Structure formats: structure tokens, C-alpha cells
Amino acid sequence: MFRGNASRAVILALAAVFFAVLAGGAQAADRCAALSSLKLERTTLRGTLVGQDFVSPPSIYDFGAKPPAPGRAFCRVEGLVDGRSRFEVWLPDAGAWNHRLQGVGDGGMAGGVPYQALTAALRSGFATVGSNLGHESGFTESGWAIGHPELVRDWGHRATHDMTVQAKAIIQAYYGAAPRWSYFTGCSGGGRQGFMEAQRYPGDYDGIVAGDPTMDFVKLTTAGRLWMAQALMPSQPGDPGLTAAKLALAARAATAQCDRLDGVADGVIDDPRACRFDPARLACAGAERADCLSAPQIAALRKIYAGAADAQGRSLFPGYERGAEVGFNASQAVYATGFLQGMAFQDPAYDPMSFDFGRDIARIAGRDLGGETLSRAIDATDPDLSAFRRRGGKLIHYHGWNDPGVPPRRSVAYYGRVAAHEGLARTEGFYRLFMVPGLGHCQGGPGATSFEMLPALQAWVEHGQRPARVLASRLEAGRVVRTRPLCPYPQRAAWTGRGSSDKAANFACKAPVA
């Protein structure tokens, strides 16, 4: 218990703190609400101070799980551009802000604010922004694009740029200061957004993390995903096609043959390009059985590995990798169908089985949206990153070798094109590609697939520390069972031969043997 004058002094001090907190909260609420009146071109805003237990609205990015609470009060700003492109900016209290902006990406053809990504960024102290890219839909739907080229442009590139410009203005108004650094992070469709930012709007971000990017969207959806889906379908009556069990059989056989090519037996094919697994080694000697492959199944796998080709056998797009077969899925046809019926042909009755790989890819890529082609609006394939480089931008690009959605060699090829355009030494000064052994599409897979690229990017942007390796872990039942370094391409992680091969410290990043 407090006594006499001392107790009164303490009580008064506590009261002063209490009322200061109340006043600070009131000021924060007022400043947040005042953002509703901020005048931004083509944009309406609503600012609301929300508590630490705020529950995000339902989102397609919830994946069946309730979004976590942010853990701190923040100013939630809801914005609408041109009456259709919805975005949200989340602003932590000034004392909790790290003076940085983090833009977060979406996925597929989806339209929805990515609340989970916003939550993660806010918890790390970032002011953060995400968009629905101009529409509301699921991952495989693009019926919203029919008759609406402006929505295609929003989804393709414009909405990401708009949300970034508006977020910076909102941050300036709320804190009285611009962010010192601005970052963008995204995987899959978000990776495509990141590359589009670097290519078309190089002034938006100081640093970009782009994972497993769907950058070549027209070809990916057709010569990648539709090609796979058609190969997986039964080729004749009575043929079950490549079932999940048969794909798992092929994955086990490919991994068993090629696992040790890197000198370590860990259930992962380090670089599938070196794997020469031929599914014919699993051929059934007689009738089809569970432990062998029929001739049509062998042909289908070879077709997927080789990638799309036209009627003359000319390659159109890279194939998918050996070791990733468990992720091959005929449901890719749903993704391709949505794209072809909506964005590509503007015909909800279009039959994807009628698609001509040799003719129709160029046909839909060149579709006029009124000022730019479909490919120009949605494909992020330009190798000219010179404007991004000149403004000091830094780019970390990663891709999983076990990705069954986006062929990993597409990322390798793009990096090569940038290096050819910029020169290898200059490219390595601002752009690094990390190929991740065993990683599926943005997550999962048999390798060490848990890693954080943003801290490495921040060290590069803010302190000039070029990332020489990034630590990755493999988690099983919440426990780290293996660590590995991820090395900048074309280097690979090589075991030194000393110590445990489950510890990253016993690996070195080495250039490939010529």
C-alpha cells in the first residue's frame, strides 16, 4: 500500500498516464477517421481505428482457417479506386511503425483482399496494403473479365500500382512522413504482380520478393496447365489415366533414382534437370497393376516432362519436373477453362478441348483490350529491368523445383534473359534467383522449404548486404529436423562431406561444374 504524499504522487502519476493513453487513443481515432476526408485522385476512403482483436472479413485467402487477430490496434483504411478496385491500408500506431511499407500480393485469377498477408505484415511493424485487383472472385474464375477490358487491366497491373500510390499518400497523411523504404512480397500470382511492378512501375518499390511467379500467364495457363490436364486424362476407354496412386509411384521411382545425384540421400532431387528418370522403367510386363505403369500412362508422363509442343514438335513452353509428380493434377483444366472462357475468348461456352496449341496461344495473346494486348496487360515477361536497377531497386526471386503449378525452368529462363540483357555482373548486383530443392508451389514439399526472404531483402536494400545464402528449414510436427542453405542461382548447396548432412553449416554454395 502507498502512504502519505508518496501515495498521492504515485496516484497522480498513474492518473496522468491513464488520461494520456486515453487522449492518445482519441487522437489516433481522430487522425484515422480524418483519412476518410483525404482527397486522392479517383479514390474514396474510409478510416476506422480497430482493436487488437479485430477479425478480418471472410476472404478467399482464408483457406478454411479463421484469420488470426492482428494482436495490436491499428488504423484500417478501406479504399475504392474508380468505384471497383478495392484496397486496404493497415497502419500501426506511430510508436509501433517500422517506417516501412509492405505491399502484399494475391493469387490465381482471384479477386479479394489478402487479409492474412496484411495481418502478418502489420504484426512485423509494417504499414501494409493489399488489393482485390479490381474484382471479387475465386482462384480459377475469370467470367468477370467478359466485356470488361478495364477489369483485365486492373488485374494485370493497374490495381497493384494504384494501391501502392494511394498507400504512400495515406501513410504521409497519417504519420506526417513518407515510408523510408517500400517493399512488395508475393508468391504465385503475387510473384507475377511483383515482376509487373519491377517492369512497368519501377519507382513503386525499393525491394521486391517474387516467388513461383505466374509471369508468363497466357502460356502458363494454356501450354502449361491445360497441356498437363489433357495429358492426365484417360487416352482411351477403359484407361484410368494417371491416377494419384500412379503419380505417387512415379514420384517415388524418380526420387529413388536421382536423390543421390547431389551426394546426399535426403528424399529430395536437388536439381531435377540432371535427373534422367524414364517412366518406362515402371512399365507393366502384362496387365496393368498398382505397381506399374501402362503404355498410355508412360506416354502421358513423358508428355508432361517434355512440355507443350505444336503439331510440328516445336517446343512452346517448359515441362514439369521429375520428382514433383504427386502434385500433377487434372484439376488444372478448371484453371485453364476459367481463363479461356473469360479473359481469353470471352465465351462462357468455350470448350478448352478444342484449343489449338500451335495457333491459339498467339491468337489470344494478341487480343486487343483497347490500347494494349492481353499479353501486354497480364504477362510480366519483359527482361528489361534497367529502370528498376537504376533507381536502386533490389529483387529476390525464388522458385521451388517441385512446383507442379508453374514450371520451374520458366524462372531459370527468365533470369537468363535478364542476365543477357543487363550483363551477368550487373544483374547479380540487383537481382538474385534462388531455386529451392523440394519446394512445391509456394509451400510444402519434401525439402527444407521454410524460409524468410524479406529480411535478406531488407539487409540488401538498407545496408547493401547482397544475399550470399538464405537459411531454410524443414519442419516436421513443428520441430526443425533439417536446415539447408539456399544459394543464388546458378550456385547450388554442396555438402562438405563433414558433419551431419541435416545441418546447413556443413554445406557450401558452389558454382556448377562446367
- Summarised one tens digit per residue, pLDDT across range 105-145 is 999 999 999 999 999 999 999 999 999 999 999 989 999 99
In a domain, 195, yes or no: no
pLDDT of residue 15: 38
Q: Supply 276's cell numbers.
A: 534422367
Among residues of the chain, what percentage have pLDDT more than 70?
A: 95
Among residues of the chain, what percentage have pLDDT more than 90?
A: 85
Average pLDDT over residues 462-483: 96
List the alpha helices (DSSP H) in 103-222. 115-123, 149-153, 159-175, 189-200, 217-219
Domain boundary among 317, 348, 374: 374
To the nearest whole number, what is the mean pLDDT of the chain?
93
Buried b vs exposed e over 328-349: b needs ≥16 C-beta within 10 Å? bbbebbbbbbbbbbbbbbbeee
Do 149 and 4 belong to one domain?
A: yes
Helix (H) or strand (E) holding 190: helix 189-200
Measure the CA–CA gap between 392 and 338, rounded to whole angstroms.
38
Q: Picking from 21-35, 189-203, 391-405, which range would have the lowest pLDDT averaged per residue?
A: 21-35
Average pLDDT over residues 309-323: 95
Do 245 and 124 belong to one domain?
A: no
Do 232 and 165 belong to one domain?
A: no
Query: Beta strand pairing status for 74-81 and 43-50?
Result: antiparallel
In a domain, 504, yes or no: no
Average pLDDT over residues 421-430: 97
Of 154, 206, 266, 403, which residue is the catalytic one? 403
Kindly report the length of the chain.
Answer: 514
Which residues are 59's β-sheet partners? none
Q: Supply 510's cell numbers.
A: 558452389
- Residues with Cβ within 8 Å of 73's Cβ and at least 6 positions away in sequence, in order, are 25, 28, 49, 50, 51, 52, 93
Of 135, 148, 157, 441, which residue is the catalytic one? 441
188 is catalytic: yes
Residue with cell 484410368: 240
Do 282 and 363 belong to one domain?
A: yes
Residue with cell 485487383: 133
* Burial of 306 from C-beta contacts in 10 A (0-12 / 13-18 / 19+): middle
**pLDDT tier for residue 195 given thresholds of 50, 70 and 90:** very high
pLDDT of residue 182: 98
Average pLDDT over residues 323-332: 93
pLDDT of residue 286: 86
Strand arrangement of the beta sheet that strand 394-400 belongs to: 43-50, 74-81, 85-92, 127-131, 100-104, 181-187, 207-211, 394-400, 431-436
Read off the pLDDT of residues 341-371 as tens digits, 9 standing for 90 and up.
999 999 999 999 999 999 999 999 999 999 9
Do 129 and 275 belong to one domain?
A: no
Q: Which domain holds residue 14?
A: 1-179
In a domain, 118, yes or no: yes
- Which of 59, 56, 144 lies closest to 106, judged by CA? 59
Q: Alpha-carbon Rg of the chain, whole angstroms?
A: 25
Please report, as a single letter, which amino acid is at residue 205. Y
Do 40 and 121 belong to one domain?
A: yes
Of 137, 188, 294, 411, which residue is the catalytic one? 188
In a domain, 479, yes or no: no
**Residue 11 scores a pLDDT above 90:** no
**pLDDT tier for residue 514 given thresholds of 50, 70 and 90:** low
In a domain, 334, yes or no: yes
**pLDDT tier for residue 66 given thresholds of 50, 70 and 90:** confident
What is the pTM (predicted TM-score) of this model? 0.93
Read off the pLDDT of residues 235-249 as tens digits, 9 standing for 90 and up.
777 778 899 999 999
Task: Give the single-character DSSP code of 68.
Answer: P
Do 302 and 233 belong to one domain?
A: yes
Do 310 and 231 belong to one domain?
A: yes
In a domain, 441, yes or no: no
Of residues 55 and 431, the one with the higher pLDDT is: 431
Measure the CA–CA gap between 307 and 52, rounded to whole angstroms.
49
Domain boundary among 319, 345, 374: 374
* Structural domain total, the chain: 2
403 is catalytic: yes
Of residues 224 and 26, the one with the higher pLDDT is: 224
Q: Picking from 115-119, 173-177, 225-229, 230-234, which range would have the lowest pLDDT averaged per residue?
A: 230-234
Please report, as a single letter, which amino acid is at residue 414. Y
- Residues with Cβ within 8 Å of 293's Cβ and at least 6 positions away in sequence, in order, are 246, 249, 250, 279, 282, 283, 284, 301
Do 113 and 173 belong to one domain?
A: yes
Do 127 and 239 belong to one domain?
A: no
216 is catalytic: no
* Burial of 98 from C-beta contacts in 10 A (0-12 / 13-18 / 19+): middle
**Residue 2 scores a pLDDT above 50:** no
Instruction: Judge whether 291 and 248 are in contact, CB under 8 Å.
Output: no
Domain boundary among 151, 179, 207: 179
Do 10 and 158 belong to one domain?
A: yes
pLDDT of residue 8: 53
Q: Picking from 93-102, 327-336, 415-424, which range would have the lowest pLDDT averaged per residue?
A: 327-336
Strand arrangement of the beta sheet that strand 470-476 belongs to: 450-451, 470-476, 479-486
pLDDT of residue 25: 54
- Which of 108, 308, 81 lies closest to 192, judged by CA? 108
Do 172 and 282 belong to one domain?
A: no
Please report, as a single letter, which amino acid is at residue 14. L
In a domain, 13, yes or no: yes
In a domain, 53, yes or no: yes
pLDDT of residue 9: 52
Of residues 275 and 286, the one with the higher pLDDT is: 275
3-state SS track over 434-497? EEECCCCCCCCCCCCCEECCHHHHHHHHHHCCCCCCEEEEEEECCEEEEEEEECECCCEEEECC
Measure the CA–CA gap between 407 and 250, rounded to whole angstroms.
18
Instruction: Judge whether 340 and 222 are in contact, CB under 8 Å.
Output: yes
